[in-house]
Amino acid sequence: MNRREFVARSAAAGAAAVPGRRLRARAATAAPWYAAMRRCGQLNFNERDPLTLDVAAWAEYWASLRVNALLVNGGGIMAFYPTDVPYHHRSAFLGTRDLFGEMAAAARARGIRVVARMDCNYSWEEALRAHPEWFERDRDGEPRRHNESTWLFKTCMFSPYFTEQMPAIYREIGKRYAVDAFFTNGWPSTGALGVCYCESCQKVYREKVGGVPPEQTDATNPLYRRYYAVFMDRLLEVWRLWDAVARESRPDAVYVGNLGGGIRVVKDLARIGQVAGWFNADHQGRSGDTPLWDCAQQGRVARSVMKGRTVTNVTGAYSNSRPVWRHVAKPAAETTLWMAQTVASGMVPWFHWLGGAPEDERWRDTGRRFFAWLAAQEPHFRNTRSVADLAVLFPQTTIAFYRSGGPGAWRGSERVQGTEYLQGLYAALLQGRFLFDFVHESDLSAQTLGRYRALLVPNAAHLADEPCRQIRAYVQGGGSLLATFETSRYDEWGDARSEPALADLCGFISAGDVVGPAANSYMRIEERHPVLAGLEGTKLLPGPESRLPVRLREASRPVLTVVPSYPAFPPEMVYARTPRTDDPAAVFRQRDNSRVAYFAGDVDRTFWRSGNPDLSGLLQNTVRWLRGDRAQPVTIEGDGLLEAFAWETEPGYALHLLNYTTPNLTWGLVEHSYPIGPQRVRFEVAPGRTIRRVEALRSGRALPFEQEGAAVRCEVSSVVDYEVVALT
């Protein structure tokens, strides 16, 4: 039987196995099984594992974690079962064994759902010789090898490999094992788009793009913009195809893509969120100078596009630092806090190890302890809604495309600079202990924004006309707004407007091109204002590195004015050449219940880069002023750096407290915790709701509390690494 015949027969067999229409209809209307999933595990086989892997021992381990679903390698890059699909490469050590089938059966015997972990990204030389059209090519026509495992070759998303070969493998696995889901490693990811020169791609370029896209992501190039749209269309086409194939053997199955990236995303998450039934963030850990809260940010990003649907996040038990060590465990404190951020931010934890014969066993108890505790407290992690009333706009097009062309371009690893505006605002909000949600720039409807007292916009320089219109309507309807720097100065692709679209709403007229980056500039205090609380005793505040020159639209005296940059060295030259100007550094406006604050400079990014507490205090005070007299839904008083999430849950409410007080906040891995306390909590519950019990779930203690009206007060004596206060 040749490959064409196999594909045809597998398709026919898959169609024959589809249950009747009534079963399909019931499955479509019922909540999917993964909506109730709360714990997930993954064992990544390597090629030698069929020789020695103890299926029963591994199944018992995952059962001890009380996981609802388990991912194990099925195939794609390598089959761990006796496949009949031509050019589906079997493990060289598989022999007569069906390792995938054994593990699937062992998991099911213990009540665990089975997800086939697939890899669609590479294949072998035998496939390259038989089907050269499946593979990516360099500009010179050479196939692209894996940079480490050089005997593997990169497959192309636009080729039949994705629409014929992978569906054939899915159908075979689905028919034989009736798996509950398929997951693809490394695809589609959320990183920058690649460029391929294979025959399939050249046809796409000719017929749909109009040429060959540039090597670099360059949103100023109309050709790249067309390629981006075509790429996203193909991505969603493949996703839908694979999801349909997954459901052929059982209607409640699902395809799950590999997503993640935290706030550093390029592919259109909003469009992916329209087809994804289950969003998996393969966001396994941190390295370099990544801030400790990176996982919590991932949860906020994913939730902004999934609208309450399932989001999982992978925690790698191995040391995924820089360099990476795949077979050595990272510290238990780091792993635990990563899983804590996962559940606190509303995601489902997914615990991961590579290789069936580990010599480092330290990770096992780390996962078992945390997952066992989660299982014991499961009802408190069934969230129904966030109680935050502040929204932070997630400016994806700005992060993806801002300053992507021209002499000042940010390339490659420098692209992280596009996230620094959001990162600075985020850090200030943590220091101020505010509760907030992310809202995606494509989801600013009245229904979405109506839940929030204020919308905070950290330099959304790229912003399409529709979100600008929606923000305007939100403010006109009584909402409050913070915006910084070049917000709305460009459309979604980076084409400059004659004036920022929200300039009139923010009360300014642009008066020139961006000034900076430059050090040693200042903001002069001209008028006292609530945003300056705690900043007494000075006439100057540190100024932003870059600013947009603006004038006030209305005749008034600015609260803060610009003192332009002047030399910082040598000391003899350090004096202001222009000590006073009329140029506003910020604009503060109030109309009835609506308040608007605009900073002409990148105060958020400058705070992130400098850590200057005056800038953090200014941002925090501005958020408090925007809120007005309305009480916060939750206040937390005490020492230490915390991130907080508050949820209404099935049994009541849950307040998650993540302790980030550590010298390893942005460097190195957390080895142990630095407990903080006490923390005094005031939690607003729904009017008429009586709270009967308050409990600290991690420490297992009932907390004394008092309730006056809707306000519930209690004290958490200590937070070690993570605490959850449950109110029922």
Six token digits for residue 622: 């501005």
- pLDDT at residue 138, rounded to an integer: 94
- 698 to 129, 368, 372, 695: CA distances (angstroms): 57, 15, 12, 9
Strands (E), 94-170: 113-119, 122-124, 152-154
- 426/403: higher pLDDT: 426
Determine, yes or no, domain membership for 26.
no
Q: Which residue reads 């099911």 in tokens?
A: 108
Q: Are residues 168 and 257 in the same domain?
A: yes
Cis before 214? omega within 30: no
Rounded Cα gap, residues 384 and 387, in angstroms: 10
What is the maximum alpha-carbon separation in the chain? Answer: 86
C-beta contacts of 710-713 below 8 A and 24+ residues apart: 710/684, 710/685, 710/686, 711/631, 711/682, 711/683, 711/684, 712/682, 712/683, 712/684, 712/685, 713/680, 713/681, 713/682, 713/683
Around Cβ 320, how many Cβ atoms within 10 Å?
18
Six token digits for residue 439: 């809202």
Question: Among positive and negative, which fits the CA dihedral 36, 40, 45, 50?
Answer: negative
Determine, yes or no, domain membership for 128.
yes
φ, ψ for residue 99, nearest 5 deg: -65, -40
pLDDT digits (tens, 9 = 90+) for 6-49: 444 444 444 344 444 444 444 445 899 999 999 999 999 999 99
Q: Are residues 281 and 248 in the same domain?
A: yes
- 108 to 63, 103, 609: CA distances (angstroms): 10, 9, 50
Q: Are residues 412 and 369 in the same domain?
A: no
Q: Are residues 463 and 561 in the same domain?
A: yes
By the 10 Å C-beta count (0-12 exposed, 13-18 middle, 19+ buried), 188 is classed as: buried
DSSP-H helix ranges across 133-268: 160, 166-177, 199-204, 222-249
Instruction: Answer whether 603's CB lies under 8 Å from 531's CB.
Output: no
Q: Which residue reads 């929204």 in tokens?
A: 391
Q: How confident is the model over 502-519, as a mean pLDDT? A: 95
User: Which strand (E) or helix (H) includes residue 269?
Assistant: helix 269-275
- pLDDT at residue 412, rounded to an integer: 58
Q: Are residues 264 and 327 in the same domain?
A: yes
Rounded Cα gap, residues 381 and 596, in angstroms: 36
Domain tally, the chain = 3
Which CATH number belongs to the domain containing residue 692 in this structure? 2.60.40.1180
- pLDDT at residue 26, rounded to an integer: 45
- 255 to 175, 241, 251: CA distances (angstroms): 15, 9, 12
Confidence at 144, pLDDT banded by 50, 70, 90: very high
- pLDDT at residue 404, rounded to an integer: 60
φ, ψ for residue 619, nearest 5 deg: -65, -45
Rounded Cα gap, residues 479 and 481, in angstroms: 7
Six token digits for residue 107: 């998991």
Q: Are residues 584 and 652 in the same domain?
A: no
Last residue of a domain, one of 341, 376, 411: 376
- pLDDT at residue 27, rounded to an integer: 45
Rounded Cα gap, residues 540 and 399, in angstroms: 31
φ, ψ for residue 29, nearest 5 deg: -90, -25
Confidence at 409, pLDDT banded by 50, 70, 90: low
Instruction: Compute the radius of gyration of the chain from its Cα atoms.
Output: 27
DSSP-H helix ranges across 432-516: 446-449, 465-476, 503-506
Q: Which residue reads 């109030």 in tokens?
A: 590
Question: Among positive and negative, which fits the CA dihedral 314, 318, 320, 321?
Answer: positive
Q: List 440's β-bridge partners, or say none.
A: 394
Q: How confident is the model over 414-425, as a mean pLDDT? A: 88
Determine, yes or no, domain membership for 32.
no
Identity of the amino acid at 404: S
- pLDDT at residue 24, rounded to an integer: 44
Which CATH number belongs to the domain containing residue 591 in this structure? 3.40.50.880
| β-pair type (711-716, 679-684) | antiparallel
Determine, yes or no, domain membership for 31.
no
Q: Are residues 477 and 506 in the same domain?
A: yes
Q: Are residues 327 and 407 in the same domain?
A: no
Q: How confident is the model over 611-631, as a mean pLDDT? A: 96
Which CATH number belongs to the domain containing residue 356 in this structure? 3.20.20.80
Give which of 287, 282, 275 is closest to 298, Cα–Cα. Answer: 282
Identity of the amino acid at 517: P
Determine, yes or no, domain membership for 331.
yes
- pLDDT at residue 484, rounded to an integer: 98
Six token digits for residue 288: 């370099």
Last residue of a domain, one of 353, 376, 399: 376
- pLDDT at residue 321, rounded to an integer: 85
Q: How confident is the model over 534-543, as a mean pLDDT? A: 97
Instruction: Answer whether 540's CB lies under 8 Å from 522's CB.
Output: yes
Q: Which residue reads 């929606």 in tokens?
A: 470
pLDDT digits (tens, 9 = 90+) for 583-602: 999 999 999 889 999 999 99
pLDDT digits (tens, 9 = 90+) for 156-167: 999 999 999 999
Rounded Cα gap, residues 315 and 295, in angstroms: 9
Q: How confident is the model over 270-276, as a mean pLDDT? A: 97
Q: List 70's β-bridge partners, or say none.
A: 41, 114
Determine, yes or no, domain membership for 383.
no
Q: What is the DSSP letter of 81?
A: S
Domain with 595 in it = 390-627
Strands (E), 264-375: 278-281, 310-316, 318-319, 325-329, 348-354
φ, ψ for residue 121, nearest 5 deg: -90, -25
Confidence check: pLDDT of 390 > 60: yes
Q: Are residues 206 and 273 in the same domain?
A: yes
- pLDDT at residue 9, rounded to an integer: 46
Q: Are residues 354 and 403 in the same domain?
A: no
Last residue of a domain, one of 342, 376, 410: 376
Instruction: Answer whether 300's CB lies under 8 Å from 435's CB.
Output: no
Q: Are residues 546 and 693 in the same domain?
A: no
Does the global pTM surpass 0.85? yes
pLDDT digits (tens, 9 = 90+) for 55-105: 999 999 999 999 999 999 999 999 999 999 999 999 999 999 999 999 999
Chain mean pLDDT for the chain: 93
Determine, yes or no, domain membership for 605.
yes
φ, ψ for residue 529, nearest 5 deg: -155, 155
Give which of 433, 454, 481 is closest to 634, Cα–Cα. Answer: 433
φ, ψ for residue 312, nearest 5 deg: -115, 155
φ, ψ for residue 373, nearest 5 deg: -65, -40
Work out the percent of the chain whose per-residue pLDDT is above 90.
88
Rounded Cα gap, residues 638 and 624, in angstroms: 18
Instruction: Answer whether 120's CB lies under 8 Å from 184's CB.
Output: yes
The count of residues in the chain is 728
Residue by residue, DSSP assigns 547-607 as B--EEESSS---SEEEE-----SSGGG-S-SS---S-BSEEEEEETTEEEEEESB-HHHHH
Around Cβ 269, how many Cβ atoms within 10 Å?
24
Q: Are residues 284 and 405 in the same domain?
A: no
Q: How confident is the model over 248-252, as a mean pLDDT? A: 95
Determine, yes or no, domain membership for 163.
yes
C-beta contacts of 21-24 below 8 A and 24+ residues apart: 23/251, 24/251
